[in-house]
Structure 1
Amino acid sequence: MKTSESLLTKHLRRALGVTATLSIVAIAPAHAQDAQEQAQDVEKIAVVGTRAAPRSVADSSVPIDIIGTEEFANQGSTDMVSMLQTLVPSFNVNDQPINDASTLVRPANLRGMASDHTLVLVNGKRRHRSAVITFLGGGLSDGAQGPDISVIPSVALKQVEVLRDGAAAQYGSDAIAGVVNFVLKDDTEGGVVEFRTGSYFEGDGDMFQIAANVGVPLSDAGFANFSAEYRTADDTSRSVQRDDAAALVAAGNTAVADPAQIWGSPEIKHDVKLFANLGLELNADAEAYLFGNYAEREVEGGFYFRNPHNRGGVNDGGTNDNGDQLLLVGDLTPDGTGNCPTDIVVGDNVLLNQRYIDLVANNPDCFAFNEILPGGFTPRFGGTVKDSSLVFGTKGEIANEWGYDISVNLGRNEIDFAIKNTINPSLGPDTPFEFSPGKYIQSEQTFDFDLTKAVDIGLDDPLYFAGGFQYRNESYESIAGDPASYEIGPLASQGFGIGSNGFPGLSARSQGKASRNNIALYVDAEMYATENLLLTAALRYEDFSDFGNTTKGKVSFRYELMEDIALRGAFSTGFKAPTIGQNNVRNVTTAFGTDGRLIDRATLPPTDPIAAQVGGEPLQPEESESYSLGVVASFDNGLFFTADYYNIEVTDRISTVSGIALTQDDIDALLARGIRDASSFSEVSYFANDFDTTTEGVDVVANYGMEMFGGDTKFALAYNWTSTTVDQASEFISADRIRMIEDNLPAVRYSLTANHTNGDWRLLGRVNYAGSIFEDHLDSGLPIDKVGSEFTLDLEFGYHVSENFELVVGAKNALDEEPDRNVLYDNEIAGSKFPTTSPIGINGGFYYVRGLYTF
């Protein structure tokens, strides 16, 4: 845990220095743009964060970022999580080169919290969770189960609203760090077609994307807006040859690949996203709405290399009295009379061992996997993600000026895992090499009924009252894989592993469906107590069928000190309910143990007998208290900036515990109770209320525009400092894991963007900075104490070939900056050239061409 004093003072000075510099720039009236034009840029209207009339960003009592379509378009990233990281100061996401399900749905972090501490809305309605649980989430997001925002195409968006403040009392569970609301386009005419292609400077990772949006009228009183996107991307490799693989090659094993293991971005075989948004005015006081999506994405990435001499359960036959590595040999005879050798020393290259050649390779009664996989093997892991949703309802006004909104919200996310270039060792020579290990499905159904009314209480402005009811049912279903992925083959009794190696299939006896429901009641009020003082309050009660009820509240204020400057602040309590998946999922994954060897780690429900044997208990909700205090300024000359301090305390945080090895006493006790698979796993993990944290930070956002070089230039700054301290942790969380939670995200991150437009052309430059981090390499007790800070530069040039067509060329990380080399464990462990959780990624520079046709 951290013992040094908070760096708040230092970073407040830095933040204030930046804003002061911008203020000095802003007082140069000779270069300021027309004030009215600037006001239009700043006066962005947000729906999220208030249940009264929508407010501008400057008038909100809590920090909100509004990101428009143009801002999404003007960058090299193509997936939603990377786009948000560029534009939101406290939003972080890492590449996930080899990280099980995290490869399919990357966990993102807002304000230093886990990926499921941010509530996601679409058009103000709760977005369902992903079925993917990030079993290996880089410490901070281990075990998190958040929504998959990558299924939302940027071409479908009118704007994105990011509420950077606790909002569980307003919106319910998960909104500890904040809320992200994706607002869909509602145009009744026109549209856009966009294509994009690019590649990394290394010559790999070729990407192609095409997207389109069109709006049409729906009778004379409505709209129908449709969006589609299709994307593919090749994988990348940033690997070096592992020492063990190099030694095999040097000893004459020509079947070993170089590199034997691939570290890089996964291959996206196809990524299809469809969205529709419809609205219809029913009469002067009511309208109906409907929106929904379907998305499908197939991803395939690398996995760890299986050494043909010592992979446990495949080739590892133990050691002899001299400590020499022996080969695992199976007896294929029905009655076990093959007299197969168990003492073959693998040496430098077992393929050249004459005893192996005579007694195994040329003996039909005996078998070793070196016969069919002489160079070992490296599985390819991935799957297909399918996501769908449908929301429909009506809103308007009834008697006595009561506003209402009634809606039904249906959501479903499915992940169908796949693994190939691997084996079920227990099946011996009859093993297939491709498997379908199973599916997970998350389903949610929500009914919302909201009421609003402006109540005259004798002041200049009315009291805005809101109240409502929500019912939500959610389920998590596990579906068994194909039988070969979990089958106990004839060689299992001889020490060969069971199931598809690397990701064993979910067995038929472990499949099932669990569900729960909850109801919520809330009240919300806003009022101007004086002309300059806005006060808000919210209270929410929720009752869950599986663990009980909770009541949370929030108060906030905004006080206008003078015409251009206001103070704002908030205090809230929050919670995050344990998900159905966290309570019920079963998974076995391959990870590195502290001895540097691959192990099979089972993640089990906390109430499973094996988990309970080593401390597992029923989950309880996480609880939070947070407060924020900030300043917002909007000047007539075009300068707009906000600076906000936040402090978030979270107790009973839910996470997967560090792997626990079962003792022989544990195994004996479980076997005596009839728990047959007690000895199947090297380590066991489970979900637990594992630790408490305090997170504090500062966000600074600033915008300014001016005339320059005969055109218009807009400057934008997004700055964040975040510090997390683990206040208390269970005995099952390791010291390196604590350091990952505290220091794996950069303490300081910022970007400064300049976008210059002059007639038909424009030029954008963006400088990005990410501070240094700590990495526990491969989550296996291999500390890299300092992955150094980095600057990167993004460049983009656009030219309007015609009124309707713009051609853009650009480069993300244009100087091809790379993170510090992994000099400690690159060759020795797993062949990773760079620290895998580097905040700038491991792929280097990316160049692209984009064409945009509007009509």
Structure 2
Amino acid sequence: MKRKNQLTTPVSLLALAISMASQPVLAQDDDKVLEEVITIGTRVEGRSVTDSAVPIDVVTGEDFLNQGDTDLNTLIRNVVPSYNVNTQPISDAASIARPANLRGLAPDHTLVLINGKRRHRAAVITWLGNGVSDGSQGPDISMIPAIALDQVEVLRDGAAAQYGSDAIAGVINFKMKDAAEGGSVEIKAGQFYEGDGDQFTVAANYGMPFTANGFANVSFEYGSTDATDRSVQRNDAAALIAAGNTDVANPAQVWGRPEVKDDLKAVFNMGVDLGGNKEFYSFGNYGSKTVDGGFYFRNPETRGAVYANGGTPLIGDLDPSNGIMDCAGFSHADAMNSAECWSFQEMFPGGFTPRFGGDVTDLAGVAGVRGTMENGWDYDISAGLGYNDVDFFIYNTVNASLGPQSPTSFNPGDYSQLEKTFNADFVKGYDVGLASELSVATGFEWRDEVFEITTGDQASYEIGPLAEQGFSAASNGFPGFGPLAGGKWSRSNVAAYVDLEADVVEGWLMGMALRFEDFEDFGTTTNGKLSSSVAVSENVNLRGSWSTGFRAPTPGQSNAFNVSTEFDLALGDLVNNGTIPSTNPVAALRGGEALDPEKSTNWTIGAVFSIGEVDITVDYFNIEVEDRIAPSQNYSLTQMEIDDLVASGVTSAANLQNFRFFTNDFDTTTKGFDIVASYSTDAIGDSTDFSFAYNKTDTNVDSYTPTTIDETRIRELQEGLPGTRWNLSSNTLLGDWRFMARVSHYDEWFDSEDGQVYGNEIIVDAEVAYNFNDNASVVIGAQNLLDELPDENPGAADGVGNRYSQFSPSGFEGGFYYVRTRYEF
């Protein structure tokens, strides 16, 4: 079942990389990025990217500000080629918190840190994610405003032995600004060439003293994003209009990015010197937004369990007490002339397309004390709290089983995630006769996470009186959570680690780490890491690492219920697919059981070249993941199983065609390499910085059980993301002017929604900036300057109207232009 893909790169690209040099993004100050001090991948202070034994990208805050988008996921994608994120137009809850992939793995295979402390997960579970992201529950970094960031460090290496669960693909650390004075205000507005998708944001950052010995740095961003539409009219909808149904919308179904309203992001970062070699620090965030997106069109002639039953009109008898089905054989027109008979064409004569979204609330806070004890040990004691809640809504839909009493808007309920952490970390250097002190780091961590499902309003999950006549129960499109599906599930764990690092001899760095964790629900795991860097010469360093890792299943993955309406390509129609806990008795009949942690083995080998103004890094990686956690394939339900599911709380199961559950049931190997390069010269303008970054990633499914993972799922995992990506950018300063250009290439990918292969996209971004003085500037720019669009879906009109693949890694909405004004003080 393996798909072979040789890890070869075009000679021209390799030559270009060697001629240019090392990090994928550029700092806008006088120091090269490779000399940036890092805070992840090591516990030794003052370590730089060049010194590191593992590959780390440093992205400056300025690199984010020099872009048109406002979502931090998109901003990272544009400068880190191994990072992928899509628009997610009709992706259930994934439209609310977009899943992102580092090195071809799932979103929850990447650990996210803020100022070196673990970031909490989003409450959203990605039920629809083109295979790679299916079932993942990662953090929502879109709640962090870019203006608050000093730099972002992307560790492209396994680090579970250092940081714990989730750090299989790597670690991303967001380092907040800590200036005690000055600030900036920024206003940004933009629009797609098509005239839609308007974006507007206003953001500010301000640093101030906090007492005589401290600082407080605060940032906020407020904005909105209008929806886009890149649809074609579906043939079935067009036929209805041609037949005289003027109530059918054109397009009947919208494919485009969802609308985001009242998008508020606020953060703070503070610290106070307490004297006696100790300081207090604290940071946190608050964010909220409303996301409103589209769903699939319900045809007023054919949609099963609402308008039709097996090809004949579905007409409800509102008074079946006399025992006679007086509405049998009625047409929709007949029902409209009858007081006893009911057709949903009376409520939605042109069919309906549900609108789905959620009100998101996100907040977090960390506080701690760090310093140096009299015995020389540095310490850092901290506690943190993180919370994310999504209050779902769906409207322009029905609970068909309620007939004419059905509302058209529903509150299906909430998902919420609460995490608490406590960390105690200690570091001390010992002189043991090596070329440097032996850094000994050790510590303890306690974590507790709680996932909660809050029940929705009764109409969103109720089985109404018309259910016995074949009408679907619960809110159509996204059924509400009933009393038995609601609940709260928690899990805590404790961990202890030791981390050693030293220069054995001059130019030879060695590191090792060992971490033990104990989870209350599935036991213990121990993981280790070895890393090394050798200075072959003044200009060449060789580096490599080997580590084991793990990812624990989340309480949400172990207990959540969900029903998604999806388009079945083989049937050419919508089907209701449910996800149930793996321990549910119905799942157990297909092999479902309690989830275990994933296990990984990760090794990298690479080199760093520094010759004059040219810096290059080349790193090969190999990540083997065993017992991966993901939803199984869909299983057809028997009537007895449907009855059992309804009894267990999945009230919408009365209208389910299929179900699935989470399972540890396949192994993968993800391998590839990264080339990153930078070069600076004053031969062009006052100064010009060039950067190049290339990523090649290939995933193979090594083993699986055919009864739980099907062929389509395997192809999604292996081909759902571009195998190759690269960026080439330049930034030129010329007096009061600045010119930026970036070219990005995306290789092919497979879209399981329409069964097509797309790709080989080249996107050009550009911007021009002018400084009026030392404080004020204006920027005019364009993302996708040449208005490139993906290949069109040849079956769009016959299917669900998606003109382009919704999983296009560069977006499918064409060119976007923007203007930004900025004032610094």
TM-score (norm 1): 0.93
Residue 742 of structure 1 is matched in structure 2 by 718
Is residue 732 from structure 1 mapped to residue 708 from structure 2 by the alignment? yes
Residue 341 of structure 1 is matched in structure 2 by 327
Is residue 580 from structure 1 mapped to residue 555 from structure 2 by the alignment? yes
Residue 739 of structure 2 is matched in structure 1 by 763
Is residue 820 from structure 1 mapped to residue 806 from structure 2 by the alignment? no
Q: 1:399 offset after TM fit, Å?
A: 1.8
The answer to whether the 8 A contact 2:21-2:676 is kept is no
The answer to whether the 8 A contact 1:808-1:849 is kept is yes
Structure 2 counterparts to residues 635-714 of structure 1, below 5 A: 635=611, 637-664=612-639, 666=641, 679-714=654-689
3-state SS in 2 of match to 1:510? coil
Q: 1:732 offset after TM fit, Å?
A: 1.8
Equivalent of residue 577 in structure 2, options 581, 591, 601? 601
Moved more, 601-610 or 546-555: 601-610
Residue 297 of structure 1 is matched in structure 2 by 289
Structure 2 counterparts to residues 386-401 of structure 1, below 5 A: 386-401=361-376
Letter aligned with residue 186 of structure 1? D
3-state SS in 2 of match to 1:793? strand
Q: What CA deviation, in whole Å up to 9, does each residue of 1:45-66 have, x standing for no partner?
A: 1101101113111110000011
Q: What CA deviation, in whole Å up to 9, does each residue of 1:730-757 have, x standing for no partner?
A: 2222211111110111111011001111
Q: 1:671 offset after TM fit, Å?
A: 8.9
Q: Distance in 2 between matches of 1:13 and 1:684?
A: 48
3-state SS in 1 of match to 2:627? strand
Residue 269 of structure 2 is matched in structure 1 by 277
Taking structure 1 as reference, are residues 179 and 667 closer, same or farther at Cα in structure 2, changes over 3 Å only? same
Q: Distance in 1 between matches of 2:230 and 2:254?
A: 7
The answer to whether the 8 A contact 2:33-2:58 is kept is no
Q: Distance in 2 between matches of 1:314 and 1:672?
A: 23
Residue 545 of structure 2 is matched in structure 1 by 570
Q: 1:19 offset after TM fit, Å?
A: 2.8
Taking structure 1 as reference, are residues 484 and 601 closer, same or farther at Cα in structure 2, changes over 3 Å only? same
3-state SS in 1 of match to 2:375? helix
Taking structure 1 as reference, are residues 64 and 367 closer, same or farther at Cα in structure 2, changes over 3 Å only? same
Q: When you count helix as a share of all residues, which structure comes out higher?
A: 1
Taking structure 1 as reference, are residues 478 and 15 closer, same or farther at Cα in structure 2, changes over 3 Å only? same
Q: 1:654 offset after TM fit, Å?
A: 0.5
Is residue 501 from structure 1 mapped to residue 487 from structure 2 by the alignment? no
Q: 1:136 offset after TM fit, Å?
A: 0.6
Moved more, 601-610 or 109-118: 601-610
Residue 837 of structure 1 is matched in structure 2 by 807
Aligned residues: 819
Residue 66 of structure 2 is matched in structure 1 by 74
The answer to whether the 8 A contact 2:18-2:616 is kept is no
The answer to whether the 8 A contact 2:685-2:733 is kept is no
Equivalent of residue 337 in structure 2, options 343, 362, 365? 362
3-state SS in 1 of match to 2:730? strand
Q: Distance in 2 between matches of 1:508 and 1:668?
A: 17
The answer to whether the 8 A contact 1:242-1:259 is kept is yes
Q: What CA deviation, in whole Å up to 9, does each residue of 1:417-448 have, x standing for no partner?
A: 01111111111111111111000110010000
Letter aligned with residue 564 of structure 1? N
Is residue 21 from structure 1 mapped to residue 7 from structure 2 by the alignment? no
Residue 798 of structure 1 is matched in structure 2 by 769
Q: Distance in 2 between matches of 1:677 and 1:716?
A: 53
Q: Distance in 2 between matches of 1:223 and 1:672?
A: 57
Equivalent of residue 604 in structure 2, options 622, 628, 651? 628
Residue 25 of structure 2 is matched in structure 1 by none
Letter aligned with residue 335 of structure 1? S
Letter aligned with residue 635 of structure 2? I
Q: 1:585 offset after TM fit, Å?
A: 0.6
Residue 2 of structure 1 is matched in structure 2 by 2
Residue 457 of structure 2 is matched in structure 1 by 482
The answer to whether the 8 A contact 2:482-2:650 is kept is no
The answer to whether the 8 A contact 2:499-2:514 is kept is yes
Equivalent of residue 527 in structure 1, options 478, 483, 502? 502
Q: 1:342 offset after TM fit, Å?
A: 2.8
Structure 2 counterparts to residues 201-280 of structure 1, below 5 A: 201-280=193-272
Taking structure 1 as reference, are residues 705 and 429 closer, same or farther at Cα in structure 2, changes over 3 Å only? same
Taking structure 1 as reference, are residues 261 and 673 closer, same or farther at Cα in structure 2, changes over 3 Å only? closer
Residue 755 of structure 2 is matched in structure 1 by 783
Moved more, 458-467 or 520-529: 458-467
Q: Distance in 2 between matches of 1:362 and 1:741?
A: 53
Structure 2 counterparts to residues 309-458 of structure 1, below 5 A: 309-318=301-310, 325-333=311-319, 335-336=321-322, 339-344=325-330, 356-357=332-333, 359-458=334-433
Q: Distance in 1 between matches of 2:652 and 2:322?
A: 24
The answer to whether the 8 A contact 1:188-1:224 is kept is yes
Q: 1:728 offset after TM fit, Å?
A: 1.1
The answer to whether the 8 A contact 2:472-2:654 is kept is no
Letter aligned with residue 799 of structure 1? Y
Residue 693 of structure 2 is matched in structure 1 by 718
The answer to whether the 8 A contact 1:599-1:682 is kept is yes
Residue 818 of structure 2 is matched in structure 1 by 848
Is residue 306 from structure 1 mapped to residue 276 from structure 2 by the alignment? no
Q: What CA deviation, in whole Å up to 9, does each residue of 1:63-84 have, x standing for no partner?
A: 0011111111111221111111
Taking structure 1 as reference, are residues 773 and 40 closer, same or farther at Cα in structure 2, changes over 3 Å only? closer
3-state SS in 1 of match to 2:360? strand
The answer to whether the 8 A contact 2:434-2:502 is kept is no
Residue 11 of structure 1 is matched in structure 2 by 9
Q: Distance in 2 between matches of 1:202 and 1:673?
A: 48
Percent identity of equivalent pairs: 50
Structure 2 counterparts to residues 150-189 of structure 1, below 5 A: 150-189=142-181
Q: 1:595 offset after TM fit, Å?
A: 1.0
Moved more, 490-499 or 260-269: 490-499
Q: Distance in 1 between matches of 2:664 and 2:272?
A: 46
Letter aligned with residue 342 of structure 1? A
The answer to whether the 8 A contact 1:317-1:329 is kept is no
Letter aligned with residue 396 of structure 2? N
Q: Distance in 1 between matches of 2:551 and 2:390?
A: 23
Q: Distance in 2 between matches of 1:581 and 1:673?
A: 17
Equivalent of residue 461 in structure 1, options 429, 432, 436? 436
Structure 2 counterparts to residues 42-53 of structure 1, below 5 A: 42-53=34-45
Gaps of 5+ in 1: 25-35, 319-324, 345-354
Q: 1:788 offset after TM fit, Å?
A: 2.9
The answer to whether the 8 A contact 2:600-2:624 is kept is yes
Taking structure 1 as reference, are residues 305 and 535 closer, same or farther at Cα in structure 2, changes over 3 Å only? same
Q: Distance in 2 between matches of 1:641 and 1:444?
A: 40
Residue 32 of structure 1 is matched in structure 2 by none
> How big is the alpha-carbon RMSD for the aligned residues of Structure 1 and Structure 2?
1.9
The answer to whether the 8 A contact 2:268-2:284 is kept is yes
Q: Distance in 1 between matches of 2:634 and 2:262?
A: 35
The answer to whether the 8 A contact 1:795-1:811 is kept is yes
Q: 1:270 offset after TM fit, Å?
A: 1.6
Letter aligned with residue 263 of structure 1? W
Moved more, 177-186 or 49-58: 49-58
The answer to whether the 8 A contact 1:332-1:338 is kept is no
Q: 1:659 offset after TM fit, Å?
A: 1.5
Letter aligned with residue 7 of structure 1? Q
Taking structure 1 as reference, are residues 729 and 401 closer, same or farther at Cα in structure 2, changes over 3 Å only? same
Q: Distance in 1 between matches of 2:33 and 2:172?
A: 21
Q: Distance in 1 between matches of 2:646 and 2:712?
A: 32
3-state SS in 2 of match to 1:46? coil
Q: What CA deviation, in whole Å up to 9, does each residue of 1:212-237 have, x standing for no partner?
A: 00000011110001000001011000
The answer to whether the 8 A contact 1:48-1:124 is kept is yes
Q: What CA deviation, in whole Å up to 9, does each residue of 1:187-243 have, x standing for no partner?
A: 000001011000001100001001000000011110001000001011000000111
3-state SS in 2 of match to 1:245? helix
